[in-house]
Chains A and B, each alone.
Chain A
Amino acid sequence: MKNIFIDAPPLTPDQAKLGRSKGYGDHPLDKYLKEGRIPHIWCSGCGIGIVLTAFIKALEKSGADPDKTVVVSGIGCSARSAGYLNLDTYHTTHGRAIPFATGVKLANPELNVVVISGDGDLFAIGGNHIIHAARRNIDLSIICVNNFTYGMTGGQGGPTTPVGAISTTTPYGASEYPFNLVYMAAAAGASYVARWTVLHTRELRDAMIDSMSKPGFSFIEAISPCPTAHARRNKLGSGLDIMRYYKEKSYLADELDRDETALGLADKIAIGKFVDVEKPTYLDMYNSHVADRAAQAAKKKKKKKK
């Protein structure tokens, strides 16, 4: 068969210049963003940008080596965070950020591997992966932006949508029980679990620093407004109104009680650090239980042969 493909126009000189942009470098945190990537895609009043800023500040404050820090994301508005960061970043398939990150980490344990993705991505389509990664205690930091909906696709109901919430696929109000993400992460075996809202920028930043230095599986839930697809339909107000709501209704909880930490449409929000334990990571266990024993078995065999 003769292949005739219609000619594709070559790169424009602008595109070929690595997307340089005017004003890049003026802000002291610009160095953590890839040049030419701003403006971002997020709506005004969206909380994802605050999560990204908290992460950048965590990078700065912790002194994490940007060359050795890798961010992996799935698909969704939250998952687009990866593409702005001036690090090695991988924007993968819907739900698969954690197994992809598992491969990145295990093939080079020296890397500090962070996953930033949404509630739908990590707990619906990727729900199986997150519980197994937590069970294995793989040394990953997971930052889950929970906006109670599928923002990217226009606001459908999902595994975190509170009972009664209106979405495009729950036009009469959601009837399913939602997941309690922090409770679930803890139950699955995470070494570190925290929940903050995007009002709590310093706490979020510090939790991110903790999670990156913590060996093992860390999980941070960042409660975040989606004015466009979730708040509007549920008459929760603007981004600013929702920040006010976070201020009024969030409170520091000192234990991870299942019912206390459950979230409703406009109820109180239990926040805080819920789990922070020391336990051997996946690789610690692999090395002590598998690699060392394999080496010993091989030695014994060799002796026998002689």
Chain B
Amino acid sequence: MENRAVLTGTHFINGDIACAEGGLAAGCRFFAGYPITPATEVAERMARRLPQVGGIYIQMEDELASMAAICGASCSGARPMTSTSGPGFSLMMENIGLAAMLETPCVIANIQRAGPSTGLPTLVGQQDVMQARWGSHGDYEIIALSPESPQEAFELTIDAFNLAEKYRVPVILLSDEIIGHMTEKVVIPHPDEIEIVKRRSPNIGPKDYAPYYPDEDDIPPMSTAGDGYHIHATGLTHNEHGYPDISADAQERLVQRLVRKIRSNADRIVRTENLYLDDAEVVMVSYGCSGRTTREVVETARADGMKVGMVRLITVWPFAEQLIRELAEQSSVGAFVVVEINSGQIALEVERCAGGNAETVLAGLMGGRMFAPDELYKVVKEAVL
């Protein structure tokens, strides 16, 4: 291994390592984490690579501390990252809420395993979807991206950093054990071909700067600790100056904005992969490792003459609401089949957006393995009938 941050070239690596390399390519130089299967390889890769490129890897005492540390590092101007899986993700919730409230850009890779609780440490699950959205108390919006391959784990980790910086929000890479532990070809481009988005910094002096006074797009420019701005940032409800303001008015202004800065930009953030939708009678909706099986089933069904299409969610949050709504209204579409390794988390969203215009069927697994194509094929066949 060399002391280059971007390992331009073709590699044969797993999704966890690809995720770590994506972070490095995106400019991550601070990682705080705690080992947990199946995310340990992300931390191990960072422990080896960060010291080579002038960065810091610190293994904290737990995930509460890891998440707090990346919030702090973000305030010092770093592009920080942590990685974990279910049990650790639960511990991170406290300070994911802090990151949402302080609007500190940071990236959390959750390589999902099956739960609840300690569950299946070494085996796959996709059960943290709702937790990723609303796992911390209160109300806020985040962004979550779900890769379907090591290549995408690399690319989406870079996107995660850029989105975090652009919208001043914690971004979750919602990967899973299958993708994390799957080894495939990963092509890492030349640094010049990698887009790096940086947070907006204040263009006015400390005297006039109010750290939570947003620009027109609801995003406030962010000063860096040590730059002389002397800001106060608090997890309490605060006014535009960053000072605690324990009132309903301040709460409305602040939390409405935290929600709006993501919701009103949803069409810019949402990304999906769409397949055979024009004449689809059944639309399969999936993401992450389940998206791989789904694609194969869609291809087989098409070859067998069934009018089946697919939406693969690349951004799980914000949800592809508009697309699902339009598809539900499309005259050909009779049903959605939502394929996910949980008891119906995205299925709830699909059913909500379908609004009674199309049926929603859940193809669910409780975790421990991927779907087999023939099991899904059966579900689709029934849905088409």
A→B interface (CB under 8 Å): 3, 5-11, 15-16, 18-19, 34, 36-37, 66-68, 70, 72, 75, 82-83, 86-93, 95-96, 98-108, 110-111, 128-129, 132, 286, 290-291, 293-295, 297-298, 301-302
Q: Which residues of A are found within 8 Å of B71, using beta-carbon distances?
A: 92, 100, 103
B1 near A301 (CB under 8 angstroms)? Answer: yes
Within 8 A of A (CB), among B228-251: 228-236, 239-241, 243-244, 249
Q: Which residues of B are found within 8 Å of A7, using beta-carbon distances?
A: 252
Knowing A96-B64, A96-B95, A129-B65, the reply to whether A8 touches B249 (Cβ < 8 A) is yes
6 chain-A/chain-B pairs, Cβ below 8 angstroms: A37-B243, A67-B228, A90-B225, A91-B235, A92-B95, A103-B70
A8 near B256 (CB under 8 angstroms)? Answer: yes
The 8 Å CB contact of B77, one of A8, A68, A108, is A108
**A293 vs B52: C-alpha distance when bound (angstroms):** 9
Q: Which of B54-62, B125-133, B172-180, B184-192 faces chain A?
A: B54-62
Max count, chain A CB within 10 A of own CB: residue among B30, B58, B72, B226: B72
B→A interface (CB under 8 Å): 1-3, 29-30, 32, 48, 51-52, 54, 56-58, 60-62, 64-66, 68-78, 80, 94-95, 97-98, 102, 208, 210, 223-236, 239-241, 243-244, 249, 252-253, 256, 263
Knowing A96-B64, A298-B52, the reply to whether A90 touches B243 (Cβ < 8 A) is no
Q: Which residues of B are found within 8 Å of A301, using beta-carbon distances?
A: 1-2
**A291 vs B231: C-alpha distance when bound (angstroms):** 32
Knowing A92-B71, A99-B69, the reply to whether A70 touches B232 (Cβ < 8 A) is no
B252 near A90 (CB under 8 angstroms)? Answer: no
Knowing A96-B94, A111-B225, A298-B3, the reply to whether A9 touches B233 (Cβ < 8 A) is no
**A5 vs B73: C-alpha distance when bound (angstroms):** 34
CB closest residue in chain A, given B210: A18
**A67 vs B227: C-alpha distance when bound (angstroms):** 6
**Nearest CB of chain A from residue B299's CB, rounded to whole Å:** 34
**Nearest CB of chain A from residue B320's CB, rounded to whole Å:** 14
Q: Which residues of A are found within 8 Å of B3, using beta-carbon distances?
A: 294-295, 298
B1 near A298 (CB under 8 angstroms)? Answer: yes
B232 near A82 (CB under 8 angstroms)? Answer: yes
**Nearest CB of chain A from residue B48's CB, rounded to whole Å:** 8
B69 near A108 (CB under 8 angstroms)? Answer: no
Knowing A6-B252, A132-B60, the reply to whether A103 touches B32 (Cβ < 8 A) is yes
Max count, chain A CB within 10 A of own CB: residue among B52, B61, B102, B263: B61
A298 near B2 (CB under 8 angstroms)? Answer: yes
Q: Which residues of A are found within 8 Å of B223, using beta-carbon distances?
A: 88
Q: Which residues of A are found within 8 Å of B75, using beta-carbon distances?
A: 88, 90, 103-104
A101 near B72 (CB under 8 angstroms)? Answer: yes
Q: Which residues of A are found within 8 Å of B56, using beta-carbon distances?
A: 106-107, 286
